[in-house]
Copies of this chain bind each other. A is one copy, B any other.
Amino acid sequence: MLRNDFYTAEAQGPYETASIGRLELEDGGVIEDCWLAYATAGELNADKSNAILIPTWYSGTHGTWFQHYIGEGHALDPSKYFIISVNQIGNGMSVSPANTEDASIAMSKFPDVRIGDDVVAQERLLREKFGIERLFAVVGGSMGAQQTYEWIVRFPDKVQRAAPIAGTAKNTPHDFIFTETLNETVRADPGFNGGEYSSHTEVADGLRRQSHLWATMGFSTEWWKQEAWKGLGLGSAESALADFLDPLFMSMDPNTLLNNAWKWQRGDVSRHTDGDLAAALGRVTAITYVMPISEDMFFPVRDCATEQSLIPGSELRVIDDIAGHLSLFNLSPTYMEQVDAALGDLFGRETS
């Protein structure tokens, strides 16, 4: 186990952990003690009909959701809903390469995990720990959107409403290659040492390079042109890297990023239907609002709209934001009101 202050309650906010026991993975690996880190807000009602699940995105934890999305005045209102954000496997909070006590899966030996493994683990946690058989909603951004899609295809009867934000049901080939460039930043660092570094700080150069890739694809050309970093209290484009993105990514664990990236690259709900995406999305019975971000450079509205058109009764709700994919961090003053409006509409929809 490595010490990393980023993956702590101090940095990410309070959380609990629970084990779902042995998890056999889609790609053949096993996690003998699969424990998940999760955080909750609000109270589960008597008939357990008000639970909203929030899976997490690449490089992220439950923290951003609790900091920005959840609270009174937001659609994700703990006075109405029992909200539970479950950290994805391998993200540094749930069982992960650098925090496991199981030497057989530590560091470079951590097994490949798929989006489907996370959803299976989450379903088990919700059912066994909380007795939740059906979710009021699943809401997720980016890799969280991948998990949201997996939920509504794999367990169509268990989800009433779904909001995949800035992500796809089937990862695109462009996105696969982009993610590979993220991986290469870390692997190219001699300090990475094949995944057997003794501190993430030994991979600082690689992590900084990864930050810079996020700076180009994660934002939009327009965000940089309008100097929107001023809205974050930053003084220059250089500062947007050196004082914001660089320290963020340089805090992270390289094996965690690689493990999650592998998962991200292979997200594809059509694995359930022999590669037929229309058949997979045709299964969906949840009321689904597909919510791409207008200036997202790697999950373009076009790609998300194509998938949305395959989901019965779904709606396309585009979030207009020049911050691009990283809008998810609630960087623009007009972002959250759009998210809240769409989620508010969705949560108000009656289900059959």
Query: A residues touching B (Cβ–Cβ < 8 Å)?
Result: 172-178, 180-181, 184-185, 188-190, 205-206, 209, 212-213, 215-217, 219-225, 227, 237, 241, 297-298, 300, 302-303
Question: Do A213 and B303 have beta carbons less than 8 Å apart?
Answer: no
A-B contact pairs, 5 of them (CB 8 A): A172-B221, A177-B224, A177-B241, A185-B188, A221-B303
Task: For the complex formed, measure the closest distance between the CB of A292 and the CB atoms of chain B, giving whole angstroms.
Answer: 12
| CB contact between A177 and one of B188, B237, B303 (< 8 Å): that residue | B237
Question: Do A209 and B222 have beta carbons less than 8 Å apart?
Answer: no
Kindly state the separation between the CA atoms of A24 and B227 in the bound complex, as whole angstroms.
34
The 5 closest A-B pairs by CB, nearest first: A174-B224, A174-B221, A173-B224, A178-B216, A173-B237
On whether A216 and B181 interact (CB within 8 A), knowing A188-B188, A298-B221, A302-B222, the answer reads: yes
Question: Do A172 and B212 have beta carbons less than 8 Å apart?
Answer: no
Kindly state the separation between the CA atoms of A193 and B172 in the bound complex, as whole angstroms.
36
Kindly state the separation between the CA atoms of A125 and B221 in the bound complex, as whole angstroms.
36
Kindly state the separation between the CA atoms of A213 and B177 in the bound complex, as whole angstroms.
9
Question: Do B174 and A219 have beta carbons less than 8 Å apart?
Answer: yes
Question: Do A172 and B217 have beta carbons less than 8 Å apart?
Answer: no
Q: Name the residue in A177, A219, A224, A241 with the highest tally of chain B Cβ atoms < 10 Å from its Cβ.
A: A177
Give the chain B neighbours of A175 by CB distance below 8 A: 221
Kindly state the separation between the CA atoms of A180 and B237 in the bound complex, as whole angstroms.
13
Task: For the complex formed, measure the closest distance between the CB of A235 and the CB atoms of chain B, giving whole angstroms.
Answer: 14
Question: Do A216 and B302 have beta carbons less than 8 Å apart?
Answer: no
Give the chain B neighbours of A217 by CB distance below 8 A: 216-217
- Since A175-B221, A184-B212, A221-B298 are in contact, a sample of 18 more A-B pairs with Cβ atoms closer than 8 Å, ordered by chain A residue number, is A172-B224, A172-B225, A174-B219, A174-B221, A174-B223, A174-B225, A177-B237, A178-B216, A181-B212, A181-B213, A181-B216, A188-B189, A216-B298, A221-B300, A221-B303, A222-B300, A222-B302, A225-B303
Chain B residue nearest to A295 in the complex (CB): B300
Give the chain B neighbours of A209 by CB distance below 8 A: 181, 184, 188
Give the chain B neighbours of A222 by CB distance below 8 A: 300, 302
Kindly state the separation between the CA atoms of A212 and B206 in the bound complex, as whole angstroms.
16
| CB contact between A225 and one of B173, B188, B206, B241 (< 8 Å): that residue | B173
Give the chain B neighbours of A220 by CB distance below 8 A: 174
Chain B residue nearest to A324 in the complex (CB): B174
Q: Name the residue in A215, A216, A225 with the highest tally of chain B Cβ atoms < 10 Å from its Cβ.
A: A216
Task: For the complex formed, measure the closest distance between the CB of A309 and the CB atoms of chain B, giving whole angstroms.
Answer: 15
Chain B residue nearest to A236 in the complex (CB): B173
Question: Do B180 and A212 have beta carbons less than 8 Å apart?
Answer: yes
Question: Do A216 and B303 have beta carbons less than 8 Å apart?
Answer: no
Give the chain B neighbours of A224 by CB distance below 8 A: 172-174, 177
